[in-house]
Amino acid sequence: MSYRKIIFLSVIFSIFFLSGYAQAPSCSAAAKFYGKDSINVTTFGASTVEGVGGFSFQEDLLNNIETCYPGVIVSVTKNGVSGETTTQGLARFPGAIAGRTGFILILMGANDAVQLAKKEPYKLSDTERNMRYYIEASLKNHLIPIIGTIQFYNDQNNQLYKTANLYINQINALYKRLALEYHIYVADVNRSLGRDFFNLYQDIVHPNAAGYKLISYVWFDAVNRAIEDRLLVVGLNQNYPNPVIDRTSIGFSLSQAGRVLIKLYGINGKFIKTLHDSYQNAGYRVINVPLNELDPGVYIYSMQVGGQLLSKKMIVTR
């Protein structure tokens, strides 16, 4: 098979898969335990955030959230300016986050990499200082920051972009380190877009329709992780599968750290055994429980945490 044919088939597959079979997002099991009545997302960055060629990720991101969080009011704002470095974006950042709540998604730094590759009077330490400002200003305004890794340039037969991509590797490593330091989140856009044939690009660096759709899923997954970690109410999921043959999974969420005690009772209220007993931090968890020793019938499992008691029924069959 020729090289050109491989590229053509890769492009067709990507567009067909992302626009046809991946329309509905995979929803987090924890979505039902979201503790607020709205989800507000502010997106901030350069041209990929602004949108290029009539494509952007914000509408798909909004649709993803609305699909998985029915009844929740969702807003996604777009604050992107083409060509900006992280330094140039500093002046407009306060206005972008003023009065906003919820999440701030920051995707910026590709233009920094080009400045570094051109040997302009610009340093990697400038990018670090700027990103620290974005993170700290967001936290001060009670926003949850999520940093996006920046995508590679299509550097085929172009030495400038080959050099820029070396800096992109350094910038993305920096962003991941800062996320660990500040205990915030990363959306790994770079890893998802990849660089095999650059078939998710419409030009030297900007995503095409399929690429933007993929980015919307990357951001959505990161928002879900943040929600599961920080914004859930106490809740207990229905076990799955139900009816149970010999093993089942039980999901639960905590709004803050505490002791989780899950017990199993017969339908008559008689205690049978403890299914789980541990201290957990806030967030969503799933435990796997063997039940092969139980007789067929209807049972009750209850979760006690922080003075609250929640219960569900399960059916055991053979």
pLDDT (tens, 9 = 90+) of the chain, 318 residues, equals 443 443 444 444 444 444 444 567 889 888 999 989 999 999 999 999 999 999 999 999 999 999 999 999 999 999 999 999 999 999 999 999 999 999 999 999 999 999 999 988 899 999 999 999 999 999 999 999 999 999 999 999 899 999 999 999 999 999 999 999 999 999 999 999 998 889 999 999 999 999 999 999 999 999 999 999 999 999 999 999 999 999 999 999 999 999 999 999 999 999 999 999 999 999 999 999 999 999 999 999 999 998 899 999 999 998
Q: Classify residue 43 by its DSSP letter.
A: E
Strands 38-45, 103-107: pairing kind: parallel
Fold (topology level) of 3-230: Rossmann fold (3.40.50)
CB 153 within 8 A of CB 201: no
> For residue 148, what are the β-bridge partners?
187
pLDDT at residue 26, rounded to an integer? 87
Q: If we measure between CA atoms, which residue out of 230, 223, 225 comes closest to residue 58?
A: 223
Cα first-last separation, the chain: 52
The boundaries of every CATH 2.60.40.2550 domain in the chain are: 235-316
Q: Classify residue 55 by its DSSP letter.
A: B
Alpha helices in the chain (DSSP H): 3-16, 47-50, 58-68, 93-97, 110-117, 124-140, 159-182, 189-193, 209-230
What are the backbone dihedrals phi and psi of residue 284, each rounded to the nearest 5 degrees, phi first? Answer: -110, 135
Q: Classify residue 86 by its DSSP letter.
A: T
pLDDT at residue 3, rounded to an integer? 39
The boundaries of every CATH 3.40.50.1110 domain in the chain are: 3-230
Which DSSP helix (H) or strand (E) runs through 309?
strand 308-316
Instruction: Compute how many other C-beta atoms are within 10 angstroms of the C-beta atom of residue 290.
Output: 11
pLDDT at residue 17, rounded to an integer? 44
78 CB contacts (<8 Å, ≥6 apart)? 43, 49, 50, 51, 56, 58
pLDDT at residue 23, rounded to an integer? 63
The residue written with tokens 């997302």 in the block is 41
Using CA atoms, how far apart are residues 310 and 316, in angstroms rounded to an integer? 20
> How is residue 56 written in tokens?
């952007």
pLDDT at residue 197, rounded to an integer? 83
Fold (topology level) of 235-316: Immunoglobulin-like (2.60.40)
pLDDT at residue 21, rounded to an integer? 43
Question: DSSP states of 165-224 as a string?
Answer: HHHHHHHHHHHHHHHHHHT-EEE-HHHHH--STTTTBSSSS-B-HHHHHHHHHHHHHHHH
Instruction: Compute how many other C-beta atoms are within 10 angstroms of the C-beta atom of residue 272.
Output: 15
